[in-house]
Structure 1
């Protein structure tokens, strides 16, 4: 009983630790969502202040704002639908593979159980037949002992078969659910594709109307300076908000640390209390067993002398001419199971052990096996493991200690040749503060490093703009995008798809404008990107 108590204690401790880890993860994700919502509110207020201060709403480019924002939103929703479709399809393939395995397992269990029942039926062996045979009591006792093994093995086969059938039912239900979801996703995807095509057509019409004004504005160096100032003001405000968010994250981490220490201390005290209770229970059970054993020994001494045990009947020599049914006549010879060569009656310790397990009465091993509640065992088999469902988008968490900044040798944000180079004169005046990578519209734009999106919206002069904070004062800027696939607060990994190449913000040719900022200052991206 001591080892059972120890197992129970460690099981409780393990479950408690797992629940604590799940609770801490859920708390951190909830805090991340709250910070994400707060960051979005702050960024929206910052953008409105910038637009109002520069009066950019009077620019011709503002006619493109609504159209290009709509394209970005629809494209992001379409990307989410496609990711969900891929997850559902992958899950359906996994379910189909497991379903084939479970079908084979069911067939195996059914054949094994049928073989056992058929052999037992041909042998005519059953507990009632043994009890009514009129044989020597020791022979009957031996036959019942054999039949207990048979019954227990059959019960195990029934339990395994029930589990397999329940698993197949759960797999079929999940597959049907996936099929319904997949049909819904296909309809939604088709609708989004049509909406995206319509938005692009409207954008072309708007662009044609303001094309002359856009060209005139692009030739004005004052406009370029306004755009640069607008982006600089935005990044300055973002840096202030990033610092505030970092302080809030630090305070939240401190609170989590204190709460974790408090919970750990509570768990330690609870563990000590459980161990004390388990020790008291084990001592009480040991004392009760000793008392019952003493009573049984006294009862045995007072009873009459036991009847001498007759030797077991010698089994007849095997006959080569016997039929398979005759070979299966032995009650213990079922489905390839071979009974013990000699019968050993249960010892007094085994009888006492069974008495302790069953509660009261002096039952033998044979009686305990035959009286086992098979229906309760089969009912336990109905506990089915959770069928895996398609993975859903979860909130990524910022790593402990924050992001570690950028290092040289970064992956390129987009494929394409560099046309606008850092520090070079621009055709329309001014100098390039980043680089322009010429690439076809719709090409993927990837994050150059791990970080968190701190801006994802339309900005005059830059179109659909994405800014990622990489920690340690590093920011990367991705502009002119056709669509933004991430939102403010999203945590991204290196090489993760974050946008698509476009020509928004009044650009004539599709491409990606890319900047790297360190402590608010622009640096040459070509020195940081891999060759």
Structure 2
């Protein structure tokens, strides 16, 4: 009997010890998993920060290249104008030289006799006066032609100097543009690396869902804030569905309402377009947001009035600032892949009274 009780007690103690050991092991695993999840969240935050930084550098490099291209184009146009002016002045110089040569020849023919002798031989006072007047007029005409010729030659020299200076500046601008394009290429490479790093961290479905929900919450909060501000504006949009032009031309790579990772659905469409393509406003309105937004990269939002807003995301760089009034067809941004996209394209939304609607219903048939 005692042996039975003792045996049962020993078994219970062993079972308790085993259970305690298993519990401790499980608690250790939970702690380790929590540490891993915490490390992953921190790594994700770092990756997001790196992506935002890469997007900012790329946007600045893109704007610098665009500005340098505009300056170079202006210089080239100025060079063409200078060359045209040079041609006109050269023709003018040749005409003036020919006219002066003709005057000198005529003076030689008329004045083949000694000028002083002609005057002394003149007995008629009226003829003498006419002769003096003629010679004075002839001399003045030659002096005017000489002065005009000198002015033209001076203008030609100044134009040549200006053209040479212009050409030198073009060469410098071209060298600077080449350097900035190299910086732009490096920025794109860094952006791609940041995207790859972020995508690798989002392989876990649960983490991807959390990331997408966080992005959606960020966008919803921004839209809600913009909606509240829109109540103070008096814009009126009179457009109808199916009447708006496309912001960019291209194929749809993501449909409205499409399933995304983690069971989320898309609130907008993605229109494929080459990097740097101009993003156009679909209607008249006012820019109410132009900044970097988590998950959507560089975003511009335009308020069209009557509760209608259009959103343009994943841009390479933004060209309008909040408060600017825009017309339909105005360039708002340049297509890119900011915000963590694998390929270039425009993320496009239309919001009606704060709610996302299918933007394709508002756009004209392609």
TM-score, normalization by structure 1? 0.51
Deviation string 1:415-455 (CA, Å, 9 cap, x unpaired) is: 21224344x24333444333221234444433435666554
DSSP-derived class of the 2:333 partner: strand
Displacement of 1:475 in angstroms is: 4.1
Match of 1:66 in 2: 53
The alpha-carbon distance between structure 1 residues 111 and 179, as it changes in their structure 2 partners (threshold 3 A), is: same
DSSP-derived class of the 2:341 partner: coil
- The answer for the alignment partner of 1:178 in structure 2 is 166
Three-state SS of the structure 1 residue aligned to 2:53 is helix
Query: Any conservation in 2 of the 1:74–1:196 contact (CA below 8 Å)?
Result: yes
Residue 155 of structure 2, aligned match among 167, 180, 194: 167
Cα distance in structure 2, aligned partners of 1:218 and 1:407:
41
TM-aligned CA distance change 1:523 to 1:106, over 3 Å: farther
Residues 1:426 and 2:259 aligned together: yes
**2:270/2:347 contact within 8 Å kept:** yes
CA offsets per residue over residues 63-91 of structure 1, 9 Å max, x none? 31111211121122112112211221222
Q: In the alignment, what sits opposite 2:270?
A: 436
* Partner in structure 1 of residue 8 of structure 2: none
Mapped contact 1:459–1:505 kept (Cα < 8 A): yes
Distance in 1 between residues matched to 2:363 and 2:336, nearest whole Å: 21
Q: Which residue of 1 aligns with 2:15?
A: none
Q: What SS class does the counterpart of residue 183 from structure 1 fall into?
A: helix
Give the Cα separation in 1 of the matches to 2:319 and 2:121: 80
Partner of 2:82: 95
The 3 A distance-change label for structure 1 pair 86 and 529 is same
Shift of residue 528, structure 1, vs aligned partner: 3.4
Higher relative contact order (CA 8 A, sep 6+): 1
The TM-score, its normalising length taken from structure 2, stands at 0.71
Deviation for aligned residue 1:175: 0.9
CA-CA distance at 1:479 after TM superposition = 0.8
**Structure 2 partner of 1:117:** 104
Counterpart Cα distance in 2 of 1:222 and 1:518: 26
Q: 1:180 to 1:451 in 2, by over 3 A?
A: farther
Are 2:219 and 1:231 equivalent residues in the alignment? yes
Report the counterpart of residue 333 of structure 2 in structure 1.
499
Kindly indicate whether residue 321 of structure 2 is the aligned counterpart of residue 488 of structure 1. Answer: yes
- In 1, Cα distance between equivalents of 2:226 and 2:126: 90
Q: Is the 8 A contact 2:270 2:346 kept in 1?
A: yes
Task: Compute the displacement of 1:176 (Å).
Answer: 1.5
* Distance change >3 Å, CA 186–CA 201, structure 1 → 2: same
Is the contact between residue 461 and residue 506 of structure 1 (CA under 8 Å) also seen in structure 2?
yes
- Residue 239 of structure 1 and its aligned partner are, at CA, apart by 6.3
CA displacement 1:357-410 (0-9 Å, x = unmatched): xxxxxxxxxxxxxxxxxxxxxxxxxxxxxxxxxxxxxxxxxxxxxx98674644
Q: CA 1:240–1:155 in 2, change beyond 3 Å: closer, same or farther?
A: farther
SS in 1 for 2:267: coil
The alignment status of 1:212 with 2:46, answered yes or no, reads no
8 Å CA contact 1:218–1:224 kept in 2: the answer is no
2:20 corresponds to: none
Alignment of 1:504-523 (within 5 A): 504-517=338-351, 520=354, 522-523=356-357
**Residue segments in structure 2 that go unaligned for 5+ positions in a row:** 1-41
In the TM superposition, residue 497 of structure 1 has moved relative to its aligned partner by 4.6
Query: Is the Cα contact below 8 Å between 1:420 and 1:435 reproduced in 2?
Result: yes
The aligned runs of 1:261-280 (5 Å cut-off) are none
Cα RMSD of the aligned pairs, angstroms, is: 3.7
Q: CA deviation at 1:99?
A: 1.3
Per the TM alignment, residue 108 of structure 1 is displaced from its structure 2 partner at its CA by 0.8
1:414 aligned residue (248, 252, 257): 248
Question: Partners of 1:436 and 1:199 in 2: how far apart?
Answer: 23
**Cα contact 1:418–1:435 (8 A) shared by 2:** yes
1:24-43 deviation per Cα after TM superposition (whole angstroms, max 9, x unaligned) = xxxxxxxxxxxxxxxxxxxx
- 1:188 corresponding residue in structure 2: 176
Name which one, 1 or 2, has greater alpha-carbon Rg. Answer: 2
Q: Per the alignment, do residues 117 and 420 of structure 1 end up closer, same or farther by CA in structure 2, a change over 3 Å counting? A: same
Q: CA contact under 8 A between 1:130 and 1:143: conserved in structure 2?
A: no
Other structure's SS at 2:202 match: helix
In the alignment, structure 1 residue 157 sits paired with structure 2 residue 142: no
Q: Which runs of 5+ in 1 are unaligned?
A: 1-54, 248-402
The 5 A counterparts of 1:20-419 are 58=45, 60-124=47-111, 132-216=120-204, 221=209, 223-238=211-226, 407=239, 409-419=243-253
1:204 to 1:58, Cα distance in 2 relative to 1, 3 A: closer
User: When you count strand as a share of all residues, which structure comes out higher?
Assistant: 2
Q: Hey, what does 2:296 align to over in structure 1?
A: 462
Structure 1 counterpart of 2:361? 527
Per the alignment, residue 330 of structure 1 pairs with none
Q: 1:227 to 1:183 in 2, by over 3 A?
A: same
SS at match of 1:203: helix
8 Å Cα contact 1:406-1:449 kept in structure 2: no
CA–CA distance in structure 2, aligned partners of residues 406 and 80 of structure 1 = 35
Q: CA deviation at 1:237?
A: 4.3
